[in-house]
Amino acid sequence: MGFPQPRLMIFAAFIIGLVTPGMLIAESKGNIVNAARSDLPSTIQLSISQPPKPLIQLEARNASLTQILQRITEKTGAIIHYSVLPEEPVTATCAGVTVKNVMECLLGSRIDRIYRKLPVQSAILATAKTNIQPVEIWLLGSRFGNAVSTMQCTFDGSRKTINTRGNTSDSDNSPSKSLIRMAQIDNDPRFSELRKQALSILAAQGKTGDAETDAEITETLHKALTDEDAEMRAQAVFGLMQHDNTDDTVLLEALKDK
């Protein structure tokens, strides 16, 4: 009876720790208009109706996205992580039964994000205050531009965006491209969990069928082999076992403590 092969040993050691969270897209309704009008006063109104079915209603006029997000966290208990946000003033009208509903309407396709439920104890405390299920959200600004746009959100989650100035390439907006950008964030501890989740999804999803995207995924996984975080290296090893014919010695080296 022989010894297990190295790739099987690697798989057995790290498959249990694999996390593959889903990218959640919630229902929403409302509209958002970006308007660079610094001469107008800014207002933000966020109300939460009472049970049995709480409804979050957001009305913002000529306010910065930072101010709006701060108000959402104050009123709902949500935890929102971000680094860079668009600077232009925002005018928005959004409503939904969850924080995700409102965020989907507010952000549209301009900002990549990942949602995660809060730990049980934190969720219980936050829900007791507002009756709204709180979430933790990571925002990654990757498609900021100077285009002025009007977004109309329907209740089934479908959207129609009209750009009045400038264009955004659809080729950069696929889920895999967004995950690649998230996984490649460097030197920012606030996004460490987002990096791990994004790399986890890339490692588990296998080939996409698009040669350029698959090459970028493989490159991202190879780069993660030398990451300081052991979890990132483990996810990269798992992914490369499926994506690439990387030498076993390289994979085993990545699993050693740095």
Check pLDDT > 60 for residue 107. yes
Structural element, H or E, at residue 213: helix 211-224
Residue 28: CB partners within 8 Å, gap ≥ 6?
94, 95, 96, 100, 101, 102, 104, 105, 153, 155, 157
The per-residue pLDDT for 229 is 84
The 8-class DSSP code of residue 59 comes to E
Q: Where in the chain is the domain with CATH 1.25.10?
A: 174-254
Question: Would you tell me how many other CB atoms lie within 10 Å of the CB of residue 40?
Answer: 12
**pLDDT grade for 26, boundaries at 50, 70 and 90:** very low
Dist. CA 174–CA 180, nearest whole Å: 10
The per-residue pLDDT for 32 is 44
Residue 206: CB partners within 8 Å, gap ≥ 6?
242, 243
The per-residue pLDDT for 157 is 36
Check pLDDT > 80 for residue 194. no
Dist. CA 55–CA 233, nearest whole Å: 42
* Residue 135 contacts residue 118 (beta carbons within 8 Å): yes
The per-residue pLDDT for 246 is 60
Mean of the pLDDT values across residues 227-245?
80
The model's pLDDT over 134-160, given as tens digits with 9 standing for 90+, comes to 788 888 754 444 433 333 333 333 343
Lowest mean pLDDT among 6-15, 33-42, 74-83: 6-15
**pLDDT grade for 201, boundaries at 50, 70 and 90:** confident
Question: Would you tell me how many other CB atoms lie within 10 Å of the CB of residue 169?
Answer: 8
The per-residue pLDDT for 141 is 53
The model's pLDDT over 47-93, given as tens digits with 9 standing for 90+, comes to 988 766 778 899 999 999 999 999 999 988 888 887 777 778 889 88
Q: Mean pLDDT across the chain, nearest whole number?
A: 68
Question: For residues 23 and 216, which has the higher predicted lDDT (pLDDT)?
Answer: 216
The per-residue pLDDT for 115 is 81
**pLDDT grade for 120, boundaries at 50, 70 and 90:** low
Lowest mean pLDDT among 156-165, 183-192, 207-216: 156-165
Tell the burial category of 103 from Cβ atoms under 10 Å away from its Cβ (0-12, 13-18, 19+): buried
The per-residue pLDDT for 70 is 93
- Considering the chain, what percentage of its residues have pLDDT values greater than 90? 7
The CATH class given to the 174-254 domain equals: mainly alpha
Q: Name all contacts of 35-43 with Cβ < 8 Å and 24+ positions apart.
A: 35/62, 35/88, 35/89, 35/90, 35/91, 35/148, 36/88, 36/89, 36/148, 37/62, 37/89, 38/62, 38/89, 40/89, 42/67, 42/89
